[in-house]
Structure 1
Amino acid sequence: MSLFEAIIFGIVQGLTEFLPISSSAHIVITQLVFGYTFPGLSFEIFLHVASVLAVILYFRKDLWRVIEGFFRFVAKRSPKDRTQFYFGLYILIATFITGILGILLEGAVGNWMKTPPVIASMLTITGLALIFIERFHKYGDRTEKNMSFKDSIVVGLGQTLAVMPGISRSGSTLIVSLLIGLQRETAVRYSFLLAIPVILGSTVLAIGDFSAEMVAYIGGLNLLVSFIITFVFSLIGIVWLIDFLKKSRLIYFAVYCFVLALFVATMIDPATVMDVE
């Protein structure tokens, strides 16, 4: 891998991780364009860690408020900490569901799902879901104070769909959160905070894939550069998305998904997948 390619991978991962357009699809597409294949998910997970560090930095006050309120409620049962306790619990429940189902589905999600036809199909589904939530569903007004265990279970199930390249993790959690009636700001916050335990958990499970061969294949300097670039562009993506959603609509992301799906279906030869495996 060249330094230029490492930079491109970092930019792609950083900008797409938290947008509802599937970072996994973009990473796979970038691999196909450059003719790379990475054993396991080690490189993807490596870049995801940079993205989650960006979330932790940006939402550090919100994260600390939830953690502090959670443990203070456990210790003192203070009514003022009740909302943060349950919000933290809902994050854990959704993460647990995603983790268990993700492990069970891991064997079924093979290289065949990283093919252009599958990616194009999943991107199309993502686009249709974004159109539905924007055009045909009335936004709710429930905040974390009004959430329930059922909400966390449904969101956890929705988040599990992101095991398929082309289905966005942030998009699926955002869409499902809006479907169950959460207000947009709460849905966005819940989606971002859910990324932290999910990505960290995936990192722990993927530790076995990290090896000297992987570092040698990509290059130590390239790994460092792609990590830093991912972190920086993840921060840019977070700030931009939050500001964008205050002014604009999800329909624009749907259009992008359709255009990208068309590109994948028509411009990327499925045979190239066999060449890089």
Structure 2
Amino acid sequence: MCNMVCRKEVFPMDSPAISQIHTLCVQMERHLSTPFPFSLWAKHCHYSPYHLRHLFTETIGVPPHQYLRRRRLTEAARQLVFSSQPLLEIAFSAGYESQQAFSDAFRRLYHMSPARFRARGFFYPLQLFPEEPFLWTSGPKGDGALRPATPKDIPTWMALAHLSIDGYPCWVEGAYRAALSAAISDRRAWVWEGQEMLGIATLAPQGDHLAYWAVHPRLRHRGGLQRLLALFRQTVLPQRAVALTTFRAGDAADTGHRTQLLQLGFEPRELQTAFGYPVQRMVLPANRTVAP
């Protein structure tokens, strides 16, 4: 077990505010096919629209308009694969006024037409609804440490993965759960933990490739990825390069993860395709220091 520690940090957002954000997500689910009155809801919560957007982004990790668009297209993608509804009906249920507008929006984020996505029969989400129990994470309440994951961690790990799938194209839950179990068995999975699970990371079998890593959305804009990476570099892969794949430049589905990787010192390398999705390999050189 790692005895590296992370500095303490105070998170100003209180539980009532987070509860309101969760209620806002519930309300958005009821408006997947109709316009959502965000300004009216902000007034109902006694917030300005600007402040509510800020709270939402800090809690969920993406702005509300982006979250809602991704939720709508995720549920549309689910219907494409698991129902026989006509495309026009799916377009309307996703809040689009025409099949063409829906197809254009779908193609931008899924990189294929709705018809092709349905024919392929391979569903993956862009954004999942944040489950209430795990949304209450308030961040580190003391020292955080990196430790090997165990099978008992899987339920909480999966909850955190659900909150962070916007960083990973083609995230398929069944395949991911199987890969996670194998990684835990091979001691290739780690948990960053304070009083709660704050971050997760798994290595691919080849040993220097980060197959998956993420932090709770409330840490995403507070240096969480940098702190997790520093722990990982100093304890799991000391003095070694770290590789991973991420979105290519200009991908409309990227919610900012590529920019964060560049800021952390990762260097773009060769273009690749993973599960039919265009990605790019990025490498953090062995001599690149990451401060916690």
Question: Which TM-score applies when normalising by structure 2?
Answer: 0.26
